[in-house]
Amino acid sequence: MSLLAVRRVSKRFGGLQALSEIDFDIGPGEIVGLIGPNGAGKSTLINAVTGVYPPDAGTIHFDGHELTGLAADRIARLGVGRTFQIPQPFGSLSCLENVVVGLLFAGKVASVEAAAAEARAILEFVGLGDKAALAPGSLTIVDLRKLELARALGTGARLLLLDEINTGLTAAEITEAIRLIERVKQRGTAILMVEHLVRVIMGACERIIVLDFGRKIAEGTPDEIARDPAVIRAYLGGQKGGGDAGR
């Protein structure tokens, strides 16, 4: 039984058809990549799944519950965590308190003290152990991304949607990030990872979905995707004859 079932989901903004008839599934504990050129509808899809705005058509089911039309906070409490493309921490709360919020509300941890203890553990897990008491304003972009991840983990989510968590990181930072995502996977959390960096996706994901202009143009293992002509054409643009495609 799939953990997340997206059926014929469409979304339109005025004239722009951001998503049309998207179908895919994610099994429990599975890592799936979501790639596509800019404006392909990746973030729109994540926002539709997490309830930031409801899809115009189609249905989304998570672990048997219907998500379509639910408020964002109820979806979060059902176990769907997410990070934001541009990190948005709670400015007037410390890093520890940022994670505590996720634990208390979506994570349904009973007391503030228990949540604080677990939050300290999560911060250690993502490598922010020493920055617990700091205000987010003083963090680097890398740390902010870690804080986003920590907060999402705090919600005790069984499905994590990571929205370009590696963009703008150096090569070394990316390797570290991939190792971190591996450790999250070992905890049994399913992940839908949106990325530009094809190298990252190929390395970490078991299955990849490719979007282009709001349509799903391909789905499959990393190898299948690398050889899929539709994907190549979408990524490298309509080159004459596409002679030197597929580097």
What distance in Å separates the CA atoms of residue 121 and residue 100, rounded to the nearest whole number? 11
Place of tokens 């591996």: 182
Sole window of 101-109, 164-172, 223-231, 233-241 interacting with another protein (rule: CB under 8 A): 101-109
What distance in Å separates the CA atoms of residue 140 and residue 183, rounded to the nearest whole number? 22
Q: Give whichever of 73 and 224 is closer to another protein, judged by the CB atom.
A: 73
Phi, psi torsion values for 56, nearest 5 degrees: -75, -35
- In total, the chain counts a number of residues equal to 247
CA angle 88, 4, 200 (to 5 degrees): 55
**Token pair belonging to 80:** 């769907």
Q: Give whichever of 70 and 184 is closer to another protein, judged by the CB atom.
A: 70
Q: Give whichever of 131 and 151 is closer to another protein, judged by the CB atom.
A: 151
Q: Which residues ranging from 103 to 142 are in contact with another protein (CB under 8 A)? A: 104-108, 111-113, 133, 135
Contact flag: residue 187 with another protein (CB under 8 A): no
Identified binder of another protein from the candidate list 155, 165, 190, 192, rule CB under 8 A: 155
**Element (H or E) spanning 9, and its range?**
strand 4-13
Task: Write down the least CB distance from residue 134 to another protein, Å.
Answer: 9
Sole window of 60-68, 120-128, 148-156, 191-199 interacting with another protein (rule: CB under 8 A): 148-156
The answer to whether 43 and 52 are in contact (CB under 8 A) is: no
Q: Give whichever of 155 and 166 is closer to another protein, judged by the CB atom.
A: 155
Identified binder of another protein from the candidate list 36, 51, 55, 58, rule CB under 8 A: 51
Q: Give whichever of 150 and 210 is closer to another protein, judged by the CB atom.
A: 150
Q: Give whichever of 93 and 217 is closer to another protein, judged by the CB atom.
A: 93
Contact flag: residue 102 with another protein (CB under 8 A): yes
Q: Which of 37, 43, 6, 81 is nearest to 233 (CA)?
A: 37
**Token pair belonging to 49:** 């799944």
What distance in Å separates the CA atoms of residue 197 and residue 186, rounded to the nearest whole number? 23
Identified binder of another protein from the candidate list 8, 13, 66, 71, rule CB under 8 A: 71
Place of tokens 């469409």: 10
Sole window of 59-67, 88-96, 118-126, 239-247 interacting with another protein (rule: CB under 8 A): 88-96
The answer to whether 10 and 68 are in contact (CB under 8 A) is: no
| Interface ranges with another protein (CB under 8 A) | 50-52, 71-74, 76-77, 81-82, 84, 88-94, 97, 100-102, 104-108, 111-113, 133, 135, 151-152, 154-155
